[in-house]
Structures are given as C-alpha cells and as structure tokens.
Amino acid sequence: MSDLIRVRMEGHDNRHELYELIRVFFPNRGIEFVDEDKVFPDGLTIKSILMDRIDKNLAITRLYRGGDLIKESLVNIDDIHIEGYPTRKIIRNALKKSIYDCLIDEVEMDIPWGILTGIRPIKIVHEMMDRGLDEKEIEGILASEFRISRDKTQLMLDIASIQRRHIYPLDRDKYSFYIGIPFCPSRCSYCSFPAFAIGKDYDRVKNYVDTLVYEIQELKGIMEGKWLNTVYIGGGTPTSLRVEDLERIITTVKDTFKDDDIREFTVEAGRPDTLNDEMLGMLKSTGIDRISINPQTMNPRTLDRIGRYHDIKSTISSYQLAKDHGFDIINMDIIIGLPGESIQDVAHTLEEIESLDPDNLTVHTLALKRGSRLLNQGKDLSTSADDIRAMLELTEAKAADMKMFPYYLYRQKQILGNLENVGYSKLGKECIYNISMMEEKETVMGLGLGAVSKIYFPDEDRIERLPNFKDLGEYSRRIDELLLKKKNFIS
C-alpha cells in the first residue's frame, strides 16, 4: 500500500497552507498535489473543494482510501463571522478547518495548535485584542475557528497580555538593532544558523568586525530622527570573538547612539566555553544588561552526541562567574528532543538549571533542519510525539516552580511533535527585543551577515523586509551598496 497522499484542490489555490496543515497530520508521508480529477486506487486522496455559490459558500473536504470515500466534512463559510477578518482569510481558514475535521479521526494524536501552522501564533491574539475583543470572545474564536486546544489558548492569552505592556504605545520612530556574529568555537550538529567555526584564520573575523563597525556608524545617519530602543548581539556566538573585537562593536553602538538612552542591551554569550573573567568583565563594564549562557542540556553524553565541545562544569562555572560579575539578567537556552534523551534526562537538566536560578529560560523543541549535520547523519533521531509533549509539560511546570512566566513563543517548520519554543522570564525581566522581534510591532534593523531588517508601519500594521548579504565576502565588498538600499528603504 502506497504511503503517498495525493491532494487535489478545486475552486481555490491554497497549496502552501494545505501542504503545511496536512504535514502536521502525516509528518512522515509524501504529499503530492495533483491536477487530475481522479481518485487514486492506492494511498490516500484528499479533495479540497471551495464551492462558491450565490446562495451558499462551502468548504468541503473528501477523503478517499484505496479509491473509496471514507469521510467528508463540510464548513459553511457564511456562518463564520470574525470581527474585522478579511474574506480571503475566512475562506482559507474554512478550507483548513474542513481538512482538520476530516483528518482528525484518522490519526491517533492530538493536534493542539489546530489549523495554525504559522511561526508567530500570538499575533492573531494581538490582532483580536486590537479590535477590542475580550478574552472570552477570543477564547471562543480560537476554539471554534482555529481548533486550538484549551491549554494553548490559555498560553496564548497569558503571553499576549504580558507582551502588550512592552509593545504599546506603538511608535513609528522607535527601532531595535539585531547584530549578527556568524562565528562559533565549533559547529553543533543540530544547528543550521549561519555560523562558521572560528578556526585559525582570524583575519576574516577582523575583516568582518571592520565592516560591521562601519555599518553601525553609517546607520546613525540613516536612522536620523528615530531612537534606538534595544540592541541584541546574537549569532553564532558573539563571545567567540577576541575580547577587544567584541568590545569595539559594543562601544561603537554605545558611542554612536549615546543620545538614545538604549533600554536594553543583550549579548548572547551562548557557549559556556567562550566565557572567562576577562570577557565577562568587559561585558559588564561596557554596560551589557542581559546575557545568555546556554547549556542546551545538562547531560554530558548528549553534549558529546551533538558535537558541543564543552562540559557541564564549564556551564556551571561560567554561570557563577557571571553572577559574581553582577549581571542583572541571565538567560539559559535548552533544547528538548535532543537525540538519545529521555524524559528523565530533561528532568535532570531542569533540576540543575533550577539550582542555578537564572532569570530567563528559553525552551526550544528540536527542529530537524536542512543544512544541519544531525539531519544528514541518517540515524533515527525521532523522539515520540508523546515524549516530546511530556518533556514540554515538564519544562512548563519547572518554569512555574522557578517563578517564571511564559512571555514569548514561536514555532518552526520541522519542529518535533509540531509543538513550540517558549521563552520564560521572572516578572519584569522579559527580553524586550525578543518580544519586538517576534510580534513585529517595531522596526528592527538587522546588521551583519544575513541579518534581516524589518520596517514596521503602525498605521497599516504591516512590515517590509530587507535582508543583508549571506556571503561573507559579498557582505564586506558590497557594504556601501547595502547601506544605500537601507537608506532608501528607511526613507
């Protein structure tokens, strides 16, 4: 029996949306869109039909197995009223809802995010809150129109209400910087971020820092009349640079934008093996408010398995050294679903982290990304959906024990169990940049290799994107061309 799922659309073309949703139900099966109006004798055939009639608008899904119709579901589009929602989106939702209703009994798993497949689910809650809907109304819509579970609905509402304290009032002149440092001590096997192992050729790093410093200085003129709200130096691993180079980048920002009274300055000090007294001393003395020290896991065997060449001791000692230096906010990133890890392993990681008592905890669910070594190793890496869910629940409970609240959330493609990444924080210690970047209610200028700038237009509640070059040589050679584009983009 073929594993292939064939999909035929009639009366509409929402291929991408349908593909993403069907893949949630059948993550390991091939999905093929067909033009032929035919029911195939093998595998599953799904017909998604938009019936657009004067008296009736219907979204219909028919599911066939081995040539026989086994289920049909029907959504009456005229019955859907979501205040302020454009017709185009209502139709798309109705088509997805009818697919969901048809497939949900075919699989033995919950689909807690319902028909939502996007990266930024909290945005729809903000949209509804902006239109004046109250929590009860929003809850009702998320359940009936999006098929989102009660738990996720509550999570979305909790996060949105914390975020709104930081997002509003909107200001078209406010912006943040994301500064990318694409170098790391070595490459972890799960990672697909732009990051080069720093190696012995430090000249290319020097050259990169020169270009970056130039880009920062030139942005002063480009952003004239606006004010810099937050700065995030990420990567890669910024602390894999020499201390004097990272210091040069930080002080260039601080000196160039000294009139802006920057509210938050984060440096991802990610890999514990890049931290020592000198580096942490420099970060503290240059006025960095928030750093990340990322264990990913507290199990030594997993660290080896994922090619992260530091030990648990260095995570703990770097953290304690950072505490001694008096950092206000320390974040820790972990990943659940790492190869070979059980629920007990995750519980152990969380206990170790609890004893360190960081201010923020960011929980990632492993995403098997194209371009990562892990995916290409061809081993069976899968943690069962039930285990992933249990791990995620454990992190939720532990964050609550640590008096932390969820404050931002995003989802990724290829994420295990089709779940989510959640940032937790002690109250009042939330990372404002993470909220701005995720909810897209503020302009973010991306500096450095592959960074993406996004301008926000509050009046139209929309963003425009402009990516930087992704090739190191091109980024340095064509920096003036890039700056001209940024100037035109802003003006």
Cβ 473 to ligand SF4 shortest distance, Å:
21
Residues found near ligand SF4 in the complex (CB under 6 A): 184, 187-188, 191, 193, 195, 235-237, 270-271
In the complex, what is the shortest distance from the CB of residue 235 to ligand SAM, in angstroms, rounded to a whole number?
6
Helix (H, G, I), strand (E, B) or coil at 398: helix
Q: Which residues are bridge partners to 209 per DSSP? A: none
Query: Least distance (Å) from ligand SF4 to the CB of residue 237?
Result: 5
> Would you say 178 or 190 has its CB closer to ligand SAM?
190
If we measure between CA atoms, which residue out of 121, 143, 124, 117 comes closest to residue 17? Answer: 117
Q: By CB under 6 A, tell whether 237 contacts ligand SAM.
A: yes
Count of beta carbons in the 10 Å neighbourhood of residue 67: 12
C-alpha span between 393 and 396 (Å, rounded): 5
Residue 367 near ligand SAM by CB under 6 A: yes
Residue whose structure tokens are 């892990």? 374
446 interface partner picked from ligand SAM, ligand SF4, none, CB below 5 to 8 A per type: none
* Nearer of residues 310 and 426 to ligand SF4, judged by Cβ: 310
Q: How far apart (Å, rounded) are the C-alpha atoms in residues 216 and 253?
A: 7
Q: Which does 369 bind (CB under 5 to 8 A by kind): ligand SAM, ligand SF4, none?
A: ligand SAM
Smallest CA-to-CA distance from 46 within 77, 78, 73, 81 is with 73
Burial classification of residue 423, based on how many CB atoms lie within 10 Å of its CB (0-12 exposed, 13-18 middle, 19 or more buried): buried
Q: How far is CA 12 from CA 69, 96, 267, 353, in A?
A: 21, 12, 46, 50
453: closest CA among 408, 485, 409? 485
CA 66-71-73 angle, to 5 degrees, is 140
d(CA 220, CA 137): 44
Quick one: tokens of 470?
A: 């992704």
CB of 307: closest distance to ligand SF4 in angstroms? Answer: 8
CA–CA separation, 156 vs 148, rounded Å? 10
Q: Which stretch binds ligand SAM (CB under 6 A): 184-192, 298-306, 390-398, 452-460?
A: 184-192
Instruction: Give whichever of 126 and 290 is closer to ligand SF4, judged by the CB atom.
Output: 290
> Among residues 369, 478, 485, 487, which is the contact residue for ligand SAM, using CB under 6 A?
369
DSSP for residue 112: T
What's the closest the beta carbon of residue 363 comes to ligand SAM, in angstroms? 9
- State the Cα–Cα distance between residues 108 and 180, nearest whole angstrom: 42
Closer residue to ligand SF4, CB minimum distance, 253 or 303? 303
Q: For residues 324-343, which are near ligand SAM according to CB under 6 A?
A: 333, 335
Integer-rounded Cα radius of gyration of the chain: 24
In the complex, minimum distance from the CB of residue 334 to ligand SAM, in angstroms, rounded to a whole number: 7
Which residue of this chain has its Cβ atom nearest to ligand SAM in the complex?
Answer: 270
Partner in contact with 335, chosen from ligand SAM, ligand SF4, none, beta carbon below 5 to 8 Å by kind? ligand SAM
CB of 306 to ligand SAM, least distance (A): 10
Closest distance to ligand SAM from the beta carbon of 469 (Å): 19
Q: Does 270 bind ligand SAM (CB under 6 A)?
A: yes
In sequence order, the β-bridge partners of residue 361 are 332, 424
Q: Prior bond to 182 cis, omega within 30? A: no
- By CB under 6 A, which span of 81-89, 229-237, 384-392, 403-411 interacts with ligand SAM? 229-237
290 binds ligand SAM (CB under 6 A): no
Comparing CB distances to ligand SF4, the nearer of 26 and 193 is 193
The smaller minimum CB distance to ligand SF4, of residues 176 and 294, is found at 294
Q: Which of 287, 420, 392, 299 has its CA nearest to residue 349?
A: 299
Task: Give the interface with ligand SAM as residue ranges (CB under 6 A).
Answer: 184, 190-191, 193, 235-237, 268, 270-271, 294, 296, 333, 335, 364, 366-367, 369, 372
